């Protein structure tokens, strides 16, 4: 019970310090404006045909090629300074111990990932205002944009037909939110672990390469490599199981969760063999 309170103290400290933060507010604002601009042609389409749209656009957009890259880069900027060695670090480690600090930081990263993902989902909805129509089907707007050339006529990015044809909208939305949260957790833990172990920004560089990995496979490599791309494992169009190379939802979940836990374990083992409390001569932020 005592260790749980220590872990909670670390988690709470980081949640407060990262949420009530100028950088967080700026990145969230930029993401909101980006999503608004991305969805503007869709709004023009809705006004032209006089229909509404269901709140299930998020899984469609996250299966695009470019859209998720921008969303993921926004998150990477937020966690680029992991393991957040700055004001309060010495106090937290001295009071809670390294093990509780690492677990608390890891759980914070998971919570922060979920918050960011849910915020992006909400941003895809609120831009449409009164045009949102709640229902359990994909709705006329999304089906029209998916199955006709209406998207091309209005300058809208291609809608992924695979998602619409293979998933119910609520299922697609829930699975995309879940997988995106796990992907962000993995990216955050990668930055956390490599920055902690190597004392530099190697983690940020590698995370950026992973974010662009899906785009590289799409343009230059075989589709069979998607199973090795964390970003691709977040996309329902990849894990449909239509082709032999398609990974499954269970595979994607296992890789992303397992990868994050392994990274956390590596940091804990490293910390165990490091004596004392160190800020590694890093500049406090």
Task: Look at the chain and report how many structural domains it folds into.
Answer: 1
Predicted local distance difference test score (pLDDT) of residue 221: 85
- Asked if residue 285 is part of any domain, the answer here is no
Predicted local distance difference test score (pLDDT) of residue 243: 61
Domain extent, residue 133, equals 2-272
Predicted local distance difference test score (pLDDT) of residue 277: 46
- Asked if residue 277 is part of any domain, the answer here is no
Which token pair is 27?
């990145």
- Asked if residue 46 is part of any domain, the answer here is yes
- Asked if residue 281 is part of any domain, the answer here is no
Write down the H helix ranges in 50-134: 58-61, 67-79, 89-96, 98-126
> Cα-flanking dihedrals φ and ψ of residue 175, to 5°?
-70, -40
CB 62 within 8 A of CB 173: no
Q: Tens-of-pLDDT digits for all 285 residues of the chain?
A: 678 888 888 888 888 888 888 999 999 999 999 999 999 999 999 999 899 999 999 999 999 989 999 999 999 999 998 887 766 666 777 777 888 888 999 999 999 999 999 999 999 999 898 889 998 999 899 999 988 888 888 888 778 788 998 899 999 999 999 999 999 999 999 999 998 888 777 889 999 999 999 899 888 888 778 888 999 999 998 887 656 667 889 999 999 999 999 999 999 898 877 654 444 434 433
> Distance (Å, rounded) from C-alpha 263 to C-alpha 83?
13
- Asked if residue 279 is part of any domain, the answer here is no
Predicted local distance difference test score (pLDDT) of residue 25: 94
Handedness of CA 167, 250, 180, 235 (dihedral sign): negative
Predicted local distance difference test score (pLDDT) of residue 282: 43
Predicted local distance difference test score (pLDDT) of residue 52: 92
- Asked if residue 245 is part of any domain, the answer here is yes
- Asked if residue 184 is part of any domain, the answer here is yes
Predicted local distance difference test score (pLDDT) of residue 275: 56
Which token pair is 16?
């407060």
Predicted local distance difference test score (pLDDT) of residue 196: 85
- Asked if residue 169 is part of any domain, the answer here is yes
Counted residue by residue, the chain has a size of 285
> Cα-flanking dihedrals φ and ψ of residue 211, to 5°?
-60, -40
């Amino acid at each position: 019970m005592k260790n749980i309170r220590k872990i909670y103290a670390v988690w709470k400290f980081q949640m407060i310090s990262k949420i009530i933060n100028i950088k967080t507010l700026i990145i969230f604002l930029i993401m909101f404006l980006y999503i608004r601009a991305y969805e503007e042609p869709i709004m023009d389409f809705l006004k032209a045909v006089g229909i509404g749209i269901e709140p299930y656009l998020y899984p469609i957009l996250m299966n695009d090629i470019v859209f998720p890259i921008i969303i993921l880069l926004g998150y990477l900027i937020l966690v680029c300074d992991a393991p957040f060695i700055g004001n309060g670090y010495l106090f937290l480690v001295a009071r809670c111990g390294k093990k509780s600090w690492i677990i608390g930081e890891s759980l914070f990263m998971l919570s922060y990932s979920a918050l960011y993902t849910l915020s992006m989902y909400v941003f895809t909805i609120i831009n449409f205002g009164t045009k949102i129509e709640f229902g359990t089907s994909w709705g006329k707007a999304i089906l029209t944009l998916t199955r006709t050339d209406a998207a091309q006529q209005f300058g809208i990015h291609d809608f992924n037909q695979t998602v619409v044809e293979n998933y119910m909208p609520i299922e697609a939305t829930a699975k995309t939110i879940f997988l995106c949260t796990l992907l962000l957790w993995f990216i955050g833990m990668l930055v956390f672990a490599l920055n902690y172990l190597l004392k530099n920004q190697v983690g940020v560089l590698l995370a950026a390469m992973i974010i662009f990995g899906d785009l590289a496979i799409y343009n230059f490599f075989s589709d069979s490599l998607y199973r090795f791309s964390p970003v691709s494992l977040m996309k329902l169009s990849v894990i449909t199981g239509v082709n032999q190379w398609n990974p499954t939802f269970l595979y994607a979940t296992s890789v992303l969760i397992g990868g994050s836990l392994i990274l956390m374990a590596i940091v804990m083992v490293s910390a165990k063999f490091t004596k004392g409390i160190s800020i590694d001569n890093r500049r406090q932020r």
